[in-house]
Structure 1
Amino acid sequence: MRVASSVIRRRGGKGYARHLVATFGWHKAAPLPESERIVSVAFRRESDDEHMEPVFEWPIPPGANLVTPRGLRLLGEELAALEAAIAAEADVEARKKLQRRQRYVATRHATAEVQAAPENGVVGVGSAVRYALNGAERAATIVGHDEADPAAGLIAFTAPLGRALMRAEAGDMVAFQGREDAIEILAAVADAKVQA
């Protein structure tokens, strides 16, 4: 009869082990198979990577990867710059970081769906939109996820505001932040800056 060492630990340690040996003649039993042996961490060889923080890939946003022509060009430029930086980088950790970013950008570039210029009057990817939010007039351009820059007025179509504006037409009242008529679409035209 074999008793796993975890049972010995639960039942009182070495004293219980001596009891098992005396009662069952455990010292005559066959040794435990390798899979059932417990090895102290102190006697285990550890790799250098075992205690390092896990490194995760850049998360790919769910859904379609809609981009403007400008967005596709920016992804291509970043990919070329990353390839040059990786070739020039001597530090292994810095190179790994650049390679993770390169894999993300390469995936986004390969899966990009370039959107044609949207028709005037209807909000789409590539539209410059003038709208009134709670009475205050504002402007934004709807772009792809990777080219979004809210400070510059470039809103991703996946952002809450972008989702609210998509497919709306000039004159529409759009629900946003729990209000049915929070946004009024004043104008929507194809933005030439993101179409080049």
Structure 2
Amino acid sequence: MSRGFVKEDDLEHAGTDLPERPLSPFPNYVTPTGLQQLQEQANLLEQQRVQLAPRKEDPVVQQTLARVERDLRYLVARLESAIPVEPGSALDTVRFGCTVEAEDETGALQQFQIVGEDEADIAAGKVSWVSPLAKALLGHKLGDSVLWPRPAGNLQLEIIDIR
């Protein structure tokens, strides 16, 4: 396309009209650690926004600033809707915030902590409370056998520890 058909304003604002990050329709339960992480991320983005603001005429900075402001709006909304949940002391039943150790049908041990959506990190063994795995585990007791529905096929898990 010839540059004659491109308005300068279009080039300057390219990448600054980002779609909003979708908010979950579920209650925003968070562990104390998850709430702290949200606050730290929001503070970091606010610092970035303040640092970028003086150079907002630069098109590259405009793109970065648009992303920072969008992510900051998301985090502020998540903080406003946060429902902090303290882990209970009675650990006879799997609940939000618990760490569950389970043995699958092959004898492999797996450990999961049930956390809020924003703090889920499967590499760290943290699963969202709305995930199929957490839904299978929640409300069950030590020694219970649960069925974990997975795209790769259902897996039977036996709860061997709750902490």
The bucket for the TM-score relative to the shorter chain is 0.7 to 0.9
Query: How far off is 1:122 after superposition?
Result: 1.2
- Whichever of the two has the greater Rg, that structure is 1
Query: How far off is 1:48 after superposition?
Result: 3.7
**Which residue pairs with 1:186 in the alignment?**
160
Deviation per CA, 1:32-72: give whole Å up to 9, x if none. xxxxxxxxxxxxxx794499576210111221111101100
**Which residue pairs with 1:92 in the alignment?**
62
Identical positions, percent: 32
CA distance in 2, matches of 1:171, 1:61: 32
Equivalent pair of 1:121/1:187 in contact (CA under 8 Å): no
1:127 maps to 2:98? yes
The count of residues paired between Structure 1 and Structure 2 equals: 145
CA distance in 2, matches of 1:93, 1:139: 40
CA distance in 2, matches of 1:106, 1:71: 14
Query: How far off is 1:82 after superposition?
Result: 0.7
**Which residue pairs with 1:41 in the alignment?**
none
| 1:1-196 aligned within 5 A | 48-49=9-10, 55-89=18-52, 90=55, 91-118=61-88, 119-134=90-105, 135-177=107-149, 179=154, 182-189=156-163
CA distance in 1, matches of 2:118, 2:91: 24
Query: How far off is 1:140 after superposition?
Result: 1.3
Equivalent pair of 2:96/2:115 in contact (CA under 8 Å): yes
CA distance in 2, matches of 1:61, 1:78: 18
State the Cα RMSD in Å. 2.3
Amino acid at match of 1:80: N
Identify the structure with bigger relative contact order (alpha carbons < 8 Å, sequence gap 6+).
2
Q: What secondary structure does 1:120 align onto?
A: coil
Report the TM-score when normalising by structure 2: 0.79
CA distance in 2, matches of 1:75, 1:176: 29
**Which residue pairs with 2:3 in the alignment?**
none
Q: 1:52 to 1:82 in 2, by over 3 A?
A: closer
Q: 1:100 to 1:173 in 2, by over 3 A?
A: same
The answer for unaligned runs of 5 or more in structure 2 is 1-6, 56-60
Q: What secondary structure does 1:183 align onto?
A: strand
CA distance in 1, matches of 2:95, 2:42: 26
Q: What secondary structure does 1:125 align onto?
A: coil
Report the TM-score when normalising by structure 1: 0.67
